[in-house]
Structure 1
Amino acid sequence: MEDQMPVAFQIILSGGNARSAALEAIGFARKGDFAEAENSLKLSQKEISAAHHIQTNLLQEEAGENHVDISLILVHAQDHLMNAITVKELAEEFIHLYKKL
């Protein structure tokens, strides 16, 4: 489990950064600053991609018969990543709606 702690914390960090950037994008869109909204969405996607890469490595280890112990912190990390993905997808919809207004 100790081996997973840095990995889990990196997923948490990237997921949190992605979520924050997506929420920031909504704020920029609300103000009509769509260029900054798009920049924040790109940052969000970059952070999601980083976390997803780590997640994929864990999945490959598991598939390669190198058992990955599931800890509460790893579950928490996965929750952060999924939450970030959802918020980013919603941010894209909000931005689209703000552009129509």
Structure 2
Amino acid sequence: MFDKARRYVQANLHRASLSPESVLEALQLPRPTLYRLFEHEGGLGAYIRNRRLREAADELVKYPNLPVLDIAYGLGFKSASDFSRAFRRTYDMAPQDLRFIASQRLRNSSRT
């Protein structure tokens, strides 16, 4: 059941409407059951947010020319400030800083 919910979240990360409520509705599971499944992740809402942020971090590095806002909106964040605040809280840096660090590492590794 956890894997099914996890797959649903992953497949719908890009939707701004993805929320614990939409997962409940789509999977037709009792609320206590679904919430219990994600307890170890800090809750379903936290799991969704963390998956989006991990995906955003990957995309920031993988697509250095794609605007940060495109990545944020493409992963369902509703505003630039929500995305930046959540990213900074999770990674202790701005999205642009992660991108800069990744580009520096790539440059340094190509020199050796």
TM-score by length of 2: 0.33
Pick 1 or 2: higher relative contact order, CA cutoff 8 A, min separation 6. Answer: 1
TM-score by length of 1: 0.35
